[in-house]
Amino acid sequence: MQNIRAQFPILKRKVNGKPLAYFDNAATTQKPVSVIDALTRFYREANAPVHRSVYSLGVEATERYEEVRTEVQKFINAKHAEEIIFTGGATESLNIVASSFSEAFLKAGDTVLVGDSDHHAVIVPWQAVAEKKKLKLTFIPVADNGVIDLAAYKTLLKTKPKFVALTYISNVLGVINPVKEMTALAHKAGAAVMIDAAQSVAHTPIDVQKLNCDFLAFSGHKMYGPTGVGVLYGKKELLERMPPRTFGGNMIAEVTREKTTYAPLPAKFEAGTPPIAEVIGLGEAIRFIQKIGFKAIQKTEGELTAYALKSFAKIPELSLLGSKNAQNRIPVFSFIMCGVHPHDIATLLDREGISVRAGHHCAEVLHRRFSITASVRASLTFYNTKAEIDRLREALIRTVKKFNG
């Protein structure tokens, strides 16, 4: 893993005179040299528009772009390449589903389930759609350990929702929800299922056919790829019946003064010039992950998880939100500290070169569930080290002493 760490140039830099310890990977991961090089190589040697050119450069760019679609298809084991829609990120993917699925399939009075641990990128689009279409939005509660409350979920399914949004891994608590089982239960109750996989894609292998979800969304930049690109997976038979959300070039079959007919999948949902370089960078990120392999990733991250939990347990003032168990989670930890505001903690840690997040992490509903308004989040990935966790622990102890005497 030290060798892999060396592939991330930014990890060598100093912040405020101290070596950077980057613990904000749930917000965005750093980029390996192979991804950075793929982007610059594309702009230096291969830049051209896709889908509309007969000249060689444009044809090459189109081939590369479409190859990545096939790579993503294999990465998440989708049945068809056209089930992979490139978007600007998970947020856009989740918005497309909320607005397009509801327009195609939902009517006033229908129930939609979202979750207390969902990111705002799930909750807010569905709130907007629910208001417009007079849908009933119900929240699936989480248990004290942060996992979705299965018993409550089963009871809610008796209300016969038409749509269920599930978060695979909470961006605040790091807990892995049993989404496969929950998807099967939702289908039995007659609901379509969308999985927000923004926090899982870099940490766990994803197989959409095994999960049997109807939609799944993630971002490139949380999996060592570039910003500005994401993926929406959707079952072909559903996407084909759903209306496009953005209108313009590339998504049409024919345009006359009277009427436009739309292109088949995936173009129907990819209006305008797409993020070409970013898609190519995403392909490189997938190759980077596959070279390391999820087995090695999960082994290293499991060790970091256990070590971090042990380290946090040595600080009596620190209260971890959700599960304190190393099993069934990724190394994402949110906590509060007696007598110190999260923003003060983040500011003092930054002076020591340690980057953590403070606030509600786009999950206000979840923070209210735990009767707080903000927390500190340290989110790790395989390139973090035990030595960095030691620095974090020591810095937290110093911070508490400074504030509490």
Restricting to residues 211-240, which ones interact with ligand PLP according to CB under 6 A?
219
| CA dist., res. 321 & res. 317, Å (int) | 13
Structure tokens belonging to residue 98 = 């909320």
The answer to whether the beta carbons of residues 220 and 93 sit under 8 Å apart is no
Find the helix or strand (DSSP H, E) in which 72 lies: helix 56-75
Between 28 and 138, whose beta carbon lies closer to ligand PLP?
28
One residue of 110, 196, 278, 388 binding ligand PLP per CB under 6 A: 196
Query: Interface with ligand PLP by CB under 6 A: which range of 126-134, 193-201, 292-300, 313-321?
Result: 193-201
* Identity of the residue numbered 331: P
Structure tokens belonging to residue 227 = 């910003």
Restricting to residues 150-169, which ones interact with ligand PLP according to CB under 6 A?
167
Find the helix or strand (DSSP H, E) in which 399 lies: helix 386-404
Structure tokens belonging to residue 288 = 């980077």
Structure tokens belonging to residue 32 = 């390996």
Closest CA to 72 of 85, 62, 60: 85
One residue of 29, 30, 73, 91 binding ligand PLP per CB under 6 A: 91
Query: Interface with ligand PLP by CB under 6 A: which range of 44-52, 86-94, 146-154, 271-279?
Result: 86-94
Minimum CB distance to ligand PLP, residue 377 (Å): 10
The answer to whether the beta carbons of residues 312 and 393 sit under 8 Å apart is yes
Between 78 and 216, whose beta carbon lies closer to ligand PLP?
216
One residue of 89, 125, 342, 353 binding ligand PLP per CB under 6 A: 89
The dihedrals phi and psi of 25, each to the nearest 5 degrees, come to -70, -20
Query: Interface with ligand PLP by CB under 6 A: which range of 33-41, 62-70, 145-153, 195-203?
Result: 195-203
Scored b (16 or more CB within 10 A) or e, 342-354 reads bebbbebbbebbb
Minimum CB distance to ligand PLP, residue 140 (Å): 15
| CA dist., res. 115 & res. 122, Å (int) | 9
Q: Which spans in 167-325 are helix H?
A: 179-188, 208-211, 236-239, 276-292, 294-313
Between 27 and 365, whose beta carbon lies closer to ligand PLP?
27
Minimum CB distance to ligand PLP, residue 274 (Å): 16
Between 91 and 183, whose beta carbon lies closer to ligand PLP?
91
Between 360 and 393, whose beta carbon lies closer to ligand PLP?
360
Minimum CB distance to ligand PLP, residue 119 (Å): 4
Angle at 224 between CA 350 and CA 293, to 5 degrees: 120
Minimum CB distance to ligand PLP, residue 264 (Å): 26
Neighbour tally for 283: CB within 10 Å: 24
| Active site residue ranges | 362
Between 315 and 365, whose beta carbon lies closer to ligand PLP?
365
The answer to whether the beta carbons of residues 170 and 199 sit under 8 Å apart is yes
Per-residue string for binding with ligand PLP, 344-383, x by CB under 6 A? ------------------x---------------------
Closest CA to 165 of 173, 175, 177: 177
| CA dist., res. 108 & res. 132, Å (int) | 9
Restricting to residues 171-190, which ones interact with ligand PLP according to CB under 6 A?
171
Closest CA to 286 of 79, 77, 88: 77
One residue of 95, 183, 199, 300 binding ligand PLP per CB under 6 A: 199
Minimum CB distance to ligand PLP, residue 227 (Å): 8
One residue of 85, 90, 201, 392 binding ligand PLP per CB under 6 A: 90
- The alpha carbon of residue 152 and the mean position of all alpha carbons in its chain are separated, in whole angstroms, by 25
Per-residue string for binding with ligand PLP, 17-46, x by CB under 6 A? ---------xx-------------------
Between 91 and 399, whose beta carbon lies closer to ligand PLP?
91
Per-residue string for binding with ligand PLP, 102-141, x by CB under 6 A? -----------------x-x--------------------
Dihedral sign of CA atoms 204, 208, 213, 216 in order: positive
**What is the binding site for ligand PLP (CB under 6 A)?**
26-27, 89-91, 119, 121, 167, 171, 196, 198-199, 219, 362
